[in-house]
């Protein structure tokens, strides 16, 4: 039996944080919006450590009950066990991620112009002509629909992006929630060559519950066991376990005819920490503005989307994501000695002070330029690049 075709102004694939927040931003526009989500519930399965900078409360109206804890220190531990403890004005939030996704959903669900189809999978799209205008015909597991704009908010394995020829490199991640006796004031990052693309983390959720995880391109399960052994955590005491993928690299192309990508599907993720939420919430504001503009001018071309979405995103987020990726490329090559040396420089120079003043988990550009002016740091970097010319070439390529 052929599927009935319904018309929508906008079709969002993925009802997680990017899709729900964008829908939230567009909820007063009178646009007819459909969200296709393959899972049956909003916010599940949980795939997040939920650590976010204070920018969250500047970007959204954040209810207090979603803040589970705040951390005062970031402890960075090198492969040999030596560490530095950094603090600043940041005091990042540890949030209830499921609650955050549900908050955006609850704000739009009463709107009769907005339709959610849960338990339904996006399968494909193709361009068609409708009244001499290019639009998109979308096919899901349950229906076909026509739309002026298709938004790929479908995460790291985005089928929308893949159909457009874009493939994310993703790091598998594992996390458990466990009752433990660590310090509730600090988030800890463990570096090791075996999980060099990211780190092992301990994030204090509050009430003596800790989110402990790791992401690495290879042997993630084995590395996770090694990590738990190193920090003396017994997996048997876990409350529950999560898994997921973290896009790794630079931001993708965002604009296509009648289509735009947002969130993990667009690679809007920091390569230093794997955090994507602040970036995608920032990008969603540009996306919403662009979408309003497209409908106002009845123009849905790549050129239009590029001008109002991709360009502003590139100039704010894209540049910062490049810096995150360059830092990550350096860290991947760090030896034990490099960690020792850099910790020593940070501890004994004014850098620790610079970090506490200019430290920014999301937008590190200002801090990096300040640190580069430090002669000891500069000399360390110079020697490091002499030893690792490929990293230098990679950095030049990224810029």
Span 354-383, contacts to ligand FAD by CB under 6 A = none
Q: Does 49 bind ligand FAD (CB under 6 A)?
A: yes
- Considering the complex, state which of residue 310 and residue 338 has its C-beta at the smaller distance from ligand FAD: 310
Among the listed ranges 49-57, 225-233, 329-337, 352-360, the one in contact with ligand FAD (CB under 6 A) is 49-57
Q: Does 159 bind ligand FAD (CB under 6 A)?
A: yes
Sign of CA dihedral 372, 375, 377, 382: positive
Among the listed ranges 47-55, 124-132, 248-256, 351-359, the one in contact with ligand FAD (CB under 6 A) is 47-55
- Report d(CA 211, CA 242) in Å as an integer: 10
Using the rule CB under 6 A, which residue among 11, 23, 50, 189 binds ligand FAD? Answer: 50
Work out the angle between the directed axes of helices 375-387 and 389-398 (0-180°, nearest 10). Answer: 110
Using the rule CB under 6 A, which residue among 15, 200, 312, 318 binds ligand FAD? Answer: 15
- Per-residue contact flags (x/-) with ligand FAD for residues 292 to 331, judged by CB under 6 A: ----------------------------------------
- Per-residue contact flags (x/-) with ligand FAD for residues 181 to 220, judged by CB under 6 A: --------------------------------x-------
Using the rule CB under 6 A, which residue among 78, 88, 275, 318 binds ligand FAD? Answer: 275
Using the rule CB under 6 A, which residue among 70, 85, 121, 194 binds ligand FAD? Answer: 121
Strand 83-87 relative to strand 93-95, pairing? unpaired
- Considering the complex, state which of residue 248 and residue 377 has its C-beta at the smaller distance from ligand FAD: 248
- Per-residue contact flags (x/-) with ligand FAD for residues 233 to 272, judged by CB under 6 A: ---------x-x-x----------------xxx---x---
Q: Does 145 bind ligand FAD (CB under 6 A)?
A: no
Residue 360 main-chain phi, psi, to 5 deg: -145, 115
- Report d(CA 161, CA 261) in Å as an integer: 7
Among the listed ranges 273-281, 291-299, 369-377, 379-387, the one in contact with ligand FAD (CB under 6 A) is 273-281
- Considering the complex, state which of residue 124 and residue 348 has its C-beta at the smaller distance from ligand FAD: 124
Among the listed ranges 17-25, 131-139, 343-351, 387-395, the one in contact with ligand FAD (CB under 6 A) is 17-25
Closest approach of Cβ 23 to ligand FAD, in Å? 11
Q: Does 36 bind ligand FAD (CB under 6 A)?
A: yes
Q: Does 53 bind ligand FAD (CB under 6 A)?
A: no
Closest approach of Cβ 120 to ligand FAD, in Å? 7
Q: For residue 386, what are the CA distances in angstroms to 346, 373, 391?
A: 21, 19, 10
Q: Does 69 bind ligand FAD (CB under 6 A)?
A: no
Q: Does 288 bind ligand FAD (CB under 6 A)?
A: no
Q: By the criterion CB under 6 A, which residues form the site for ligand FAD?
A: 13-19, 36-39, 47-52, 121-122, 153-156, 159, 173, 175, 213, 242, 244, 246, 263-265, 269, 274-277, 280
């Amino acid at each position: 039996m052929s599927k009935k075709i319904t018309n929508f102004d906008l079709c969002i694939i993925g009802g997680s944080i990017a899709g729900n927040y964008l829908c939230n931003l567009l909820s007063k526009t009178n646009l007819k919006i459909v969200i296709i989500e393959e899972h049956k519930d909003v916010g599940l399965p949980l795939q997040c450590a939920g650590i976010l900078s204070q920018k969250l409360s500047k970007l959204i109206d954040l209810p207090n009950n979603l803040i589970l804890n705040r951390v005062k220190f970031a402890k960075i531990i090198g492969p040999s066990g030596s560490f530095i403890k950094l603090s600043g004005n940041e005091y990042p939030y540890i949030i209830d991620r499921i609650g955050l996704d549900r908050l955006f959903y609850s704000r739009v669900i009463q709107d009769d112009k907005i339709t959610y189809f849960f338990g339904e999978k996006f399968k494909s799209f193709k361009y068609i002509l409708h009244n001499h205008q290019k639009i998109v015909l979308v096919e899901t597991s349950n229906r076909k629909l026509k739309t002026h704009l298709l938004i790929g908010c479908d995460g790291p394995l985005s089928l929308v992006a893949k159909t457009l020829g874009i493939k994310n490199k993703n790091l598998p991640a594992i996390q458990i929630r466990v009752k433990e006796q660590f310090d509730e004031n600090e988030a800890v990052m463990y570096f090791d060559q075996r999980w060099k693309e990211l780190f092992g983390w301990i994030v204090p959720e509050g009430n003596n519950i800790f989110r402990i995880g790791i992401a690495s391109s290879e042997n993630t399960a084995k590395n996770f066991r090694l990590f738990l052994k190193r920090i003396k955590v017994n997996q048997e005491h876990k409350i529950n376990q999560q898994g997921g993928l973290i896009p790794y690299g630079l931001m993708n192309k965002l604009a296509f005819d009648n289509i735009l990508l947002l969130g993990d599907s667009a690679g809007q993720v920091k390569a230093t920490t794997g955090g994507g939420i602040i970036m995608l919430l920032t990008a969603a504001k540009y996306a919403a503005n662009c979408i309003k503009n497209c409908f106002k001018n009845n123009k849905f071309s790549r050129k239009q989307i590029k001008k109002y979405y991709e360009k502003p995103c590139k100039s704010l987020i894209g540049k910062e994501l490049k810096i995150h990726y360059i830092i990550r490329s350096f860290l991947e090559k760090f030896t034990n000695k490099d960690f020792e040396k850099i910790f020593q420089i940070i501890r004994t120079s004014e850098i620790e002070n610079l970090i506490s003043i200019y430290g920014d988990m999301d937008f590190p550009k200002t801090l990096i330029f300040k640190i580069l002016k430090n002669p000891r740091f500069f000399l360390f970097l110079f020697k490091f690049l002499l030893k690792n010319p490929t990293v230098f070439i990679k950095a030049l390529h990224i810029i």
